Amino acid sequence: MRMSKVALWVVLLLCAVPSLAEDRTEVHLFQYGRTSSDLLSIAFVDFRDMLEEKLPRLSAEMMQTEATNPALSQLRLKSVTDENGVLLRPEARIGSLDDKRRYWRQTGALSVLTGHVKQQGGIPYVYTTFYWGDLRGPYPEEMVQLVLPVVGESFDNTSDSHSVAVLYAMAQEIKQDCKNTAEIIFLLSEAQKRARAISGDLPELSAELENMVIAAIKNIRSECSGD
């Protein structure tokens, strides 16, 4: 009896350790709003498919250079669905900001994506609220607003606002005090280049994201080199 209790505790401990140490690598996506028309609904489906393909590619690009953290290879999109595979609307799980915070803490998500789709000048635009909870770093808010036009040119590999936010959150996630500074700055540097890449289409967002990334790099420099 006593032995079985000990065994049970050992099993529980073994199960608990990896889950505690598990990195946040999943971007959780909820159903976006204002997708009632066919055009906007299709635009959202395209956006979701694109994110699904983009995240593994982004991680592959990082892993081929300076970044070696194995968590990066796990980067992926997770669509939050019901038992029938239908995307959940945010109100089903994260109706309030407190719900969102709780969801982020309990699920171990890297970030939680909600938003809406809107047509402007004949082009559907995706507006995303990218919630990153405690991974905000020096950024003052626990979420950032992103925009992406859903047109062929914006499909564009991994140079977009969502890739910037994912790299920023990932850098905060794998940061280990000052032990892996080079790797963290590498991710942030890649985010900085991508933030600048959208300056032509979305100059304000580009500047905001670039400032956010540079502030994070300066923060690391002051923490780790005493500058």
Partner 1 sequence: MVTRRAILRLFVVLWLLLWVTTGSAVQNPDQITVFFPAFEGPGKLGLNVSTVLSLQLAQTTRRYPWPDNPDHHEFGEAIIRWSAEPLEKYSVSEITEVAQKKNLLAQIVIVGKARRYSKDIVVELEVLLPRYRSPQPAGGTITDGEKNDFRQKNFETWLIDIGGERIQVDLPKRYFSISTIVLKPEIVDRYGAASGLPIRESIEGGRVLGETGDQIRFIEFNKRLPGAPAKIRSGGVVGYVSLPELSDEASEFADMVGGILQVFRGDWQWAINSFTNVLENPKTRTPLKVDALLYRGMARFKKGGNGLSDIASAVELAPYDATAIRYLVMAHLANGEDKKTIAEILEQKSLLFGGNDHWLKQVRRFLEVH
Q: Which residues bind partner 1 (CB under 8 A)?
A: 42-43, 46, 50, 57, 60-61, 63-66, 124, 150-153, 155-159, 180-183, 185-186, 188-190, 192-194, 196-197, 199, 217, 220-221, 224-225
What region does 115 belong to: left with phi over 0, alpha with psi -120 to 50, or beta?
left
Residue 18 vs 200, nearer CB to partner 1: 200
Q: Of 12 and 45, which CB lies nearer to partner 1 in the complex structure?
A: 45
Q: How far is the CB of 119 from partner 1 (least distance, A)?
A: 12
Q: State in angstroms the smallest separation of the CB of 159 from partner 1.
A: 5
Q: Name the minimum Å distance from CB 99 to partner 1.
A: 32
CA distance 216 to 210: 10
Beta carbon of residue 77, minimum distance to partner 1 (angstroms, whole number): 16
Please say which residue, 102 or 221, places its beta carbon nearer to partner 1. Answer: 221
CB of 188 to partner 1, least distance (A): 7
Q: Which tokens hold the place of 94?
A: 């994260």
Please say which residue, 80 or 172, places its beta carbon nearer to partner 1. Answer: 172
Of 28 and 194, the one with the shorter C-beta distance to partner 1 is: 194
Tell the residue number behind the tokens 């992406």, with chain if given. Answer: 148
Using an 8 Å Cβ cutoff, are 168 and 191 in contact?
Answer: yes
Q: Kindly state the smallest distance separating residue 84's Cβ from partner 1, in Å.
A: 25
**Rounded-to-integer distance, Cα 138 and Cα 128, Å:** 20
Residues 121, 63: Cα–Cα separation, whole Å: 38
Q: Which of residues 11 and 68 has its CB atom nearest to partner 1 in the complex?
A: 68
